[in-house]
Structure 1
């Protein structure tokens, strides 16, 4: 019963949150702002939207091609077309249940290329670790480039003494957590340690890989396509066409973070883009329109590729 409830909650809570954020954003926009957003959609230069979708295709291909290196390391030769289609399906599944795409991807790999589920899933976990590290590089770069702007924004919103208080509380909580992590014998801590050791093992397996440098190259290539497909969309609207590259990176980071909060960033993505761009003087209606343009185009592509892959994967693997 608990397991069933958990599955239902994992589907509907992110959806409710997404629709709640859409409702919140809609109700906070004036009639004039809503008309401006509609005008942005009508007058946008869709050449750059289509260009971003083409770039996104290279990202799908790069993720599938990188996967082959880790699978080959384990001794499995897979069909690239199957790898590409399972990647497409995994993105599509993440629109329904967050993080369900990884499980689906490993299951399809077992079905069509006879790779054991646990080994296939292990390679996907290793990918996520590498992706997370590269994402942190983007975060570090962005905060270095925009430190003054972000610091002044936070200082304007939160009193300095509260910032100090939050910092002290954060340090205290960090020390408490570290002591619990080292000395506690609780079952939940033991489970977390086991999972962490598995993640570390998956990460170190990459270092032992024969083609590790190719794997790392494609990892950066994937994130380059993600950033590039976000960047080119700024030229779709005249109001965003002249924003600097460091501001683009900030939008890219906060948009990427928003994807994890709801199903594929539903509601959260446009809201986060509008909020971060407002720091740089971009009006709420323009930031919202830009966020919805990017999110809608990428989501449509994900749905189309996912459904086509569902259709053709079994057809192309008929024996």
Structure 2
């Protein structure tokens, strides 16, 4: 019973958080600000939105193609169409239950390509490791580009950066001590965590040992370049954002990426988070949130279309096999 309640809360709480943030953002805005936000969304240039969707579609296609580089060493080479439809169906499932998409994706390939679920799911973990490394690299680069702005922000808010660095070092030290505790512990819960960590490390090593690792690295970089482009081109559809510095857009991209992982597909949280970070760079809240809503709406529409069609055509396509 307790496990069921926890599962339900994992689904409901992120949705409630998203709804609350949308409500609070609109309630705290004046009627004029709400009208400006709405007009920015209505007047968005559709050609840049279509271009954004094109970049998004290319990233999903590349992800489906990249998957085979992890499956081939185990003797499997599923058809690209099945890979792509499994990926898109998984993305759509994430809107309902966070992280359920990875399970559905592996299950789809297991059903239609006769690949053991455990092996298919293991490859997904491996590619997620590669994505996390790229994401952390982008985050580090963005922080470096925004060093001057961060220092100015610290000074304006009387925040001592040395204290922040000290806190970070303490957290790292706690993390190292926690890892040592997990490594030596005999507690069942910590043993499970240790096994999971070991599996992640093995997945990372499998990436380095694969025969076509350079092709895998190319597609990984291509996927993230497409992510950045599908995000960046939307600024040209919002009045007043066309001349925004690229480093500022990258800061918004990083915040948006973390916002998506916090809720069911970023529902509610994504546009509010984008608006909040852009306000720090003297961009109006209405322009920032309009940019967030348009970006989120464009890519969500793409997932709804391709994910919905994938659910329909997966069984039809494989019935002809």
Q: Normalized against structure 1, the TM-score is what?
A: 0.95
1:37-116 map, 5 Å = 37-116=37-116
Structure 1: where are the runs of 5+ without partners?
A: none
Structure 2: where are the runs of 5+ without partners?
A: none
- Residue aligning to 1:3: 3
- Residue aligning to 1:280: 281
Distance change (3 Å), C-alpha of 1:198 and 1:169: closer
- Worse-superposed segment, 98-107 or 28-37: 28-37
- Residue aligning to 1:29: 29
1:83-114 alpha-carbon deviations (Å, 9 max, x no partner): 11001101101111111100000000010000
Q: Normalized against structure 2, the TM-score is what?
A: 0.94
Q: How big is the shift at 1:294?
A: 0.5
- Residue aligning to 2:137: 137
1:11-63 alpha-carbon deviations (Å, 9 max, x no partner): 11111111111112112211111010111012221110111001111011000
1:211-222 map, 5 Å = 211-222=212-223
Task: Classify the secondary structure of the residue corresponding to 1:265.
Answer: coil
1:220-258 alpha-carbon deviations (Å, 9 max, x no partner): 110010001101111101311001111111111110010
- Residue aligning to 2:318: 317
- Residue aligning to 1:204: 205
Distance, in Å, in 2 between the alignment partners of 1:303 and 1:171 is: 40
1:117-137 alpha-carbon deviations (Å, 9 max, x no partner): 000000000010000000011
Distance change (3 Å), C-alpha of 1:27 and 1:154: farther
Q: How big is the shift at 1:65?
A: 0.2
1:240-286 alpha-carbon deviations (Å, 9 max, x no partner): 10011111111111100100111100111111111111111101111
1:189-219 alpha-carbon deviations (Å, 9 max, x no partner): 2221110100011111111111111011101
Q: How big is the shift at 1:9?
A: 1.6
Task: Classify the secondary structure of the residue corresponding to 1:282.
Answer: coil
Q: How big is the shift at 1:307?
A: 0.7
Q: How big is the shift at 1:178?
A: 4.7
Distance, in Å, in 1 between the alignment partners of 2:237 and 2:71 is: 39
Task: Classify the secondary structure of the residue corresponding to 1:264.
Answer: coil
- Residue aligning to 1:117: 117
Distance change (3 Å), C-alpha of 1:47 and 1:5: same
Distance change (3 Å), C-alpha of 1:168 and 1:231: closer
Task: Classify the secondary structure of the residue corresponding to 1:317.
Answer: helix
Give the paired residue count.
319
Conserved 8 A contact 2:182-2:193: no
Distance change (3 Å), C-alpha of 1:77 and 1:164: closer
- Worse-superposed segment, 6-15 or 32-41: 6-15
Q: How big is the shift at 1:176?
A: 4.5
What value does the CA root-mean-square deviation take over the aligned residues?
1.8
